[in-house]
Amino acid sequence: MDYPPIAPQRAFGQIYEMASTQGIFRLSYAQKLVFLAAAPLVLAVALMGVIVTDQSRQLAEREIAALEEELLAAKQAELQNYVTLARNSFFWTYGNRAPDDQEAKDRVTQILSAMIYGDEGFYFVYDYDGTMIVSPRQTDLIGHNLSGQTDSAGTPITDLLIDVGRTGAGYHTFLWPKPSTGEEAEMIAYVTALPSWQWVMGTGIFIDDVLETVAAARADMEQRIDRTFLQIGGITALALLLVFLSGLYITIRERRKADVKLKDLTQRIFDTQEEERGRVARELHDGISQILVSVRYTLEAARKRLERGDARASQNIDSGIDALGGAIQEVRRISRDLRPGVLDDLGLGPALKALIEDFGQRNNIATEFSTVVFRNRLDEESKIALYRVAQEALTNVERHAGASQVTLSLEGNRRGAKMCIADDGRGLTDQRNGDPRAGLGLRNMQERVEKLNGTLRVLSSRKGTVIEAQVPLSHMLRPAAPKEGAA
């Protein structure tokens, strides 16, 4: 069964908490800078580029459409003027003759055939049946019935021109061979009817210049958009460069800080080693050495008495034996402090129990220890780390806390193994005010637990301190399989 965690029966004011973050994915400063600055910047610039491009394209398309409409309107007005001029040229001939007056028709045909303008301009006439009557630029078509004629794109020409003309007047756009090159080009034609003769007359203008102007405008639009993209890309590259340089600066600065911290940590390790060596040396000198010197003097006194035949020599020998027993106990104590054999032989629980009982006897402090049987054993590294944490915590209590009671518990739970050490001393605040080296023990404990990907929590006030060390399940060993034939 599991024991509940030890909860001190007192209120804690100020809280110190240290949680291990090793084993949890943590970004470096450069990576944080990339994700928190560069990535949103790139996303924002990309969205801005898409929006700017779309808006620019829509605006340019509207401008190009307006330009094309304006140019075509000018062409249409020009065509309408041409047709009006042509009709005015034969107005009296057409209006004063009978519908079947062939002479008048020939006269009008001659007038329209002679009215050519520019390099490509001409007038054309169809009768309602689709027969070409006037075509000065392509005379081989005169007299042929062109009903059903279409251009290369499948757009009706003759029939649609006749239909438009018979309705009054209008425009029609289609592909027609240019007289100068013989190649098809887009033409816009304006037609009107001569209903008395059942003729449709009109003229057309090739709109190559309009298409070229529109194409040039569209190309200019694409160039402006590309230029805008390049400008946005340049600004983005500059911003990313600044982010990179900032990240590089921060990385270098943090690395320098890390180097300083590493040097401090190395120095702390050296100081700790020297302190431990000094402690062992003092204990050997003040304890073992003095006891052995006492044994030597005792044995020398016993030898002299034996030489004189003094019966009291046995007293000196007994005293020396007792002193040697004390030296043996002292050696065992020092050895236990350096590496307790009970930790290897019996496990963490008995080792912690022996540690706190010896602490209580040595300092005349009331102690309490509780533990449970682990279903899963701790690995060697975790046992040593938790034992050293307990040892460091009890050392802090002995040197700084001024406590009258200490409790230690060890338990297993679903998250791993947890050890809790509580005292009723004066807390870490007063300890730090009284000792400039205070905090080194906590850092050592923190570093040991972090190495195991565990968690160290320190709760402290002037009414006491609680230290909780948690080791994750990854450091729990599976129960040993029972041997064959075992009960």
The CATH number that applies at residue 110 is 3.30.450.20
Q: Tell me: pLDDT of 11 over 60.
A: no
Pairing of strands 405-413, 366-371: parallel
The pLDDT-based confidence of 172 (bands split at 50, 70, 90) is very high
**Does residue 66 lie within any of the structural domains?**
no
Q: Which two tokens stand for residue 77?
A: 């007005």
List Cβ<8 Å contacts ≥24 apart for 387-390.
Answer: 387/340, 387/343, 387/348, 387/351, 387/352, 387/355, 388/444, 388/445, 388/448, 389/419, 389/445, 389/448, 389/449, 389/456, 389/467, 389/469, 390/352, 390/355, 390/356, 390/419, 390/421
Mean pLDDT of 82-109: 85
* Residue linked to tokens 């943090």: 254
Residue 192 or residue 254, greater confidence: 192
- Answer yes or no: is 397 within a domain: yes
How many Å from the N-terminal Cα to the C-terminal Cα in the chain? 22
Backbone angles phi, psi at 176, to 5 degrees: -145, 140
Domain count, the chain: 2
Which of 37-46, 181-190, 242-251, 335-344 is least confident? 335-344
pLDDT of 480 over the 60 cut? no
Q: What was the pLDDT predicted at 18?
A: 42
Of all helices (H) and strands (E), which one includes residue 88? helix 39-89
Q: Has residue 459 been placed in a domain? A: yes
Q: Is 168 a domain residue?
A: yes
Cβ 395 vs Cβ 467: under 8 Å: no
Res. 450: pLDDT tops 70: yes
pLDDT at 432: 47
pLDDT band at 192 (very low <50, low <70, confident <90, very high): very high
Residues above pLDDT 70, as percent of the chain: 84
Question: Is the residue at 141 inside a domain?
Answer: yes
**Is pLDDT larger for residue 480 or for residue 142?**
142
Summarised one tens digit per residue, pLDDT across range 389-415 is 888 888 888 887 777 888 888 887 777
Q: What is the pLDDT of residue 162?
A: 92
pTM of the model: 0.44
Q: Which parts of 157-283 fold into alpha helices (H)?
A: 158-166, 208-283
Q: Can you tell me the distance from the alpha carbon of 395 to that of 467, in angstroms, rounded to the nearest whole number?
A: 13
Residue 246 pLDDT > 90: no
Q: Is residue 227 part of a domain?
A: no
Question: What's the residue count for the chain?
Answer: 487
**Where does the pLDDT of residue 34 fall: very low under 50, low under 70, confident under 90, or very high at 90 and above?**
low
Average pLDDT for 72-97:
86
Last residue of a domain, one of 176, 206, 236: 206
Q: What is the DSSP letter of 97?
A: S
- Domain endpoint, select from 206, 228, 253: 206
Say which residue, 74 or 427, is predicted with more confidence: 74
247 or 259, greater pLDDT: 259
pLDDT of residue 173: 92
The residue that leads in pLDDT, 128 or 10, is 128
Nearest to 401, CA basis, from 433, 375, 428: 428
Position 461 in a domain: yes
Last residue of a domain, one of 155, 189, 206: 206
- The pLDDT score that the predictor gives to residue 126 is 93
Residue 434 is predicted with a pLDDT of 45
Query: Which of 319-328, 342-351, 364-373, 435-444 is the least confident region?
Result: 435-444
Q: For residue 191, what pLDDT is reported?
A: 94
465 belongs to a structural domain:
yes
DSSP state of 8: -
Range picked from 58-72, 122-136, 251-265, 275-289 for highest mean pLDDT: 122-136
Gap between the Cα atoms of 352 and 388, Å rounded: 10
Average pLDDT value for residue range 364-381: 77
pLDDT by residue (tens digit) across 458-469?
Answer: 887 777 888 888
Q: How confident is the model at residue 13, as a pLDDT?
A: 39
CATH of the domain at 453: 3.30.565.10
Overall average pLDDT of the 273-291 stretch = 73
- Whether residue 431 is predicted with pLDDT greater than 70 in this model: the reply is no
Q: How far apart are CA 402 and CA 419, in angstroms?
A: 22
Mean pLDDT of 291-318: 77
Domain of 426, in residue numbers: 15-21+342-477
Burial of 302 (0-12, 13-18, 19+ CB in 10 A): buried
